[in-house]
A and B are shown apart, each in its own frame.
Chain A
Amino acid sequence: MKPVPVLVVALVPASLALAIAFGSVDLGAAQLADALLGRGDEIAREIVWGVRAPRALAAFACGGLLALAGALLQVLLRNPLADPTILGVSGGAAAGALAALLLGVGAAGLDLAALAGASIAAGAVFGFSQGRSGWNPYRVLLTGVALASGFGALVGLMLSLAPSLQVQGMLFWLLGDLSPAGDPTAALVVLAACAALAFSQSAALDAVILGEDKARSLGIAVKRLQAVAFGCATLATVAAVLLGGSIGFVGLVVPHLLRLAGVHRHALLLPLAACLGGSLLALADALARTVAAPAELPVGVVTAMIGVPVLLFLLARLR
């Protein structure tokens, strides 16, 4: 299992380089190298540093956040099918954003509305998760699924009420699309912070697999761990959704890919999930930008089209 971490870490610069090298404008290798070094043609430099690099980093941040959230939720809820979308957070963000679009508020208001929607969903899931004997994974799952379909209905309602001109902009929130992603700095900071926080809990997350009583008897403050890990996963999901809408399957599949490759300990799994999720989404986004160039596909469509067969393949192998 030693080569796996090395490969995953090496994939990070490789995927970012590929995401910067490919786009709707074909830059030659020499021109690309010049632009990367800050020399040569100004337009090429602008394409590389002003457009593709931020976009590639945004994709990386988004994928890393989703995979990290997925890995945390899967251990926290003891459910291999847990992923960021089951929290209802992306649904909440979409409903908030669509409401803002319908009301015609500006870009800042849009982000705020999405954030508000996501926070309401996360708060509701956390609030309802407390059963009679404390935290209950089934309640979390049920609340998340119920909220997600509730928000889905709200979204459908707003789509059917919206003037047809607005529907295009609304689809972004539903499909997942990185083309309007702006400056990725904030998301990268959130990714680093969440990864560090989650990493600090990795030994405790290893032990919590044995059940809450055993984990407590080993000295783990289980309630606090759950709050920290759940908060971390929620924050990561919200940051990812604000950047790229609801991009599916990265959060579900990436942690499983690593586990199948023999990475289980959370001290390795969590940072590697962030790296692999980021790399894969950067590659998927490069594909989304180039495959039908000059048109762009929503990256959520690409991840789902790759993610669904990958997941089915994994399920067949795990039988």
Chain B
Amino acid sequence: MLKAEGLAISAGGRELVRALDLSLAPGENWALLGPNGSGKTSLILALAGLRSPQAGTIALAGAPLGTYPRRELARQIAVLLQDEEADFWGSTFDYVMLGRYPRSKSAWGRDEEGAAAAHGRLAEVDLSHRAAQDYRTLSGGERQRARIAQVLLQDAEILLLDEPLQHLDLRHQALVMQILSGCAADGKTVLAALHEPGHAALHCAFSLLLYDAGRARLGRSSDMLTQANLEALYQCRLQAAGARSFLPS
């Protein structure tokens, strides 16, 4: 259980989150929605223990995040960052294997069990055929799937994902959403920043809407993802697109 109380986050002189109470329980699948610059990334970084909030506490299983050693925290919380340095020297498999770091004891970072698991994760994200290929030669979408495979290999109880669907084609968007739903069904906690409310409605039982100026609303997706709420969230008129809007089933 990851629990935030009285959370306040600001960045670049802007207040992004104010007095937010949030508790993410095992088996819950959360969508984090909000316009650009509303603080989705900052919230994820804070929940992952990578940035200190301006106020409030974040506790994992009752203990503040700061009291966990990094390695222990990495076994509990895995994070997909929105950006990372892409200058990795090895193969796609080498890249995914870095996700094994918190659980592997050897200085080589190689263990049979981990290697088998890494191949399993690559298969899961439909990337087995790229395992031996130089990571830098992957396309943007393939790279994104490799990054997701690395996060999955970490085998943490809590998954925080910042725009997991970026660069992905429709089929792989659906694949990733299904993988995340599967994780939640297995009792893991999932929170993903998304830009498509359709995916949230289809796959996430809970939604957290992050408005400008620090306001937030959270609850069941069925209550949250109404036309009125989304129009207020994105500050634009929406219409039901009918037969011309497609989401993978």
Do A and B associate with each other?
Answer: yes
Chain A residues within 8 Å of B, Cβ to Cβ: 78, 199-200, 202-204, 206-207, 209-211, 213-214, 216-221, 259, 264-265, 267
Residues of the A chain whose Cβ atoms lie less than 8 Å from the Cβ of B74: 217-219
Main secondary structure of the interface of A (DSSP, over half): helix
A54 CA to B138 CA, complexed, in Å: 50
Q: Is the CB of B108 within 8 A of A203?
A: yes
Q: Is the CB of B70 within 8 A of A219?
A: yes
CB-CB under 8 A for A210 and B84, given A218-B154, A267-B107: yes
- CB-nearest residue of chain A relative to B89? A264
Closest Cβ of chain B: how far from A209's Cβ, in Å?
6
A259 CA to B88 CA, complexed, in Å: 12
Known A209-B88, A213-B50; further 17 A-B contacts with Cβ < 8 A = A202-B109, A203-B108, A204-B101, A209-B89, A210-B84, A210-B88, A210-B98, A213-B79, A213-B84, A214-B84, A216-B50, A217-B77, A218-B99, A219-B72, A219-B75, A220-B71, A267-B108
A178 CA to B102 CA, complexed, in Å: 44
Closest Cβ of chain B: how far from A261's Cβ, in Å?
12
User: B87 at interface (Cβ–Cβ under 8 A)?
Assistant: yes
Q: How large, as a class, is the contact surface on chain B?
A: 20 to 34
A265 CA to B97 CA, complexed, in Å: 12
A232 CA to B111 CA, complexed, in Å: 27
User: B12 at interface (Cβ–Cβ under 8 A)?
Assistant: no
Pick the most buried of A210, A217, A221: most chain B CB atoms within 10 A of its CB: A217
Residues of the A chain whose Cβ atoms lie less than 8 Å from the Cβ of B108: 202-203, 265, 267
Q: Is the CB of B107 within 8 A of A221?
A: no
A221 CA to B94 CA, complexed, in Å: 21
Q: Is the CB of B81 within 8 A of A217?
A: yes
Residues of the B chain whose Cβ atoms lie less than 8 Å from the Cβ of A265: 90, 94, 108
A146 CA to B114 CA, complexed, in Å: 45
A203 CA to B106 CA, complexed, in Å: 8
Pick the most buried of A200, A211, A216, A219: most chain B CB atoms within 10 A of its CB: A219
Closest Cβ of chain A: how far from B51's Cβ, in Å?
9
Closest Cβ of chain B: how far from A46's Cβ, in Å?
42
- CB-nearest residue of chain A relative to B108? A267
21 contacts between A and B (CB under 8 A): A78-B85, A202-B108, A203-B101, A206-B109, A211-B85, A213-B81, A213-B84, A214-B79, A214-B84, A214-B85, A216-B50, A217-B77, A217-B79, A218-B101, A219-B72, A220-B70, A220-B71, A221-B69, A221-B71, A259-B89, A267-B108
A264 CA to B89 CA, complexed, in Å: 7
Q: Is the CB of B98 within 8 A of A206?
A: yes
Interface residues of B in 171-198 (CB under 8 A from A): none
User: B43 at interface (Cβ–Cβ under 8 A)?
Assistant: no
Which of B81, B84, B87, B101 lies in contact with A219, CB distance below 8 A?
B101
B56-85 CB contact bits vs A (8 Å, 1 = yes)? 000000000000011111110111010011
Residues of the B chain whose Cβ atoms lie less than 8 Å from the Cβ of A211: 81, 84-85
Residues of the A chain whose Cβ atoms lie less than 8 Å from the Cβ of B71: 219-221
- CB-nearest residue of chain A relative to B105? A203
CB-CB under 8 A for A219 and B107, given A209-B88, A210-B85, A213-B81: no
A100 CA to B170 CA, complexed, in Å: 71
User: B125 at interface (Cβ–Cβ under 8 A)?
Assistant: no
Residues of the B chain whose Cβ atoms lie less than 8 Å from the Cβ of A218: 74, 98-99, 101-102, 154
Residues of the A chain whose Cβ atoms lie less than 8 Å from the Cβ of B117: none
User: B45 at interface (Cβ–Cβ under 8 A)?
Assistant: yes
User: B104 at interface (Cβ–Cβ under 8 A)?
Assistant: yes
Q: Is the CB of A219 within 8 A of B73?
A: yes
User: B216 at interface (Cβ–Cβ under 8 A)?
Assistant: no
Closest Cβ of chain B: how far from A174's Cβ, in Å?
35
User: B48 at interface (Cβ–Cβ under 8 A)?
Assistant: yes
A214 CA to B84 CA, complexed, in Å: 7
Q: Is the CB of A207 within 8 A of B81?
A: no
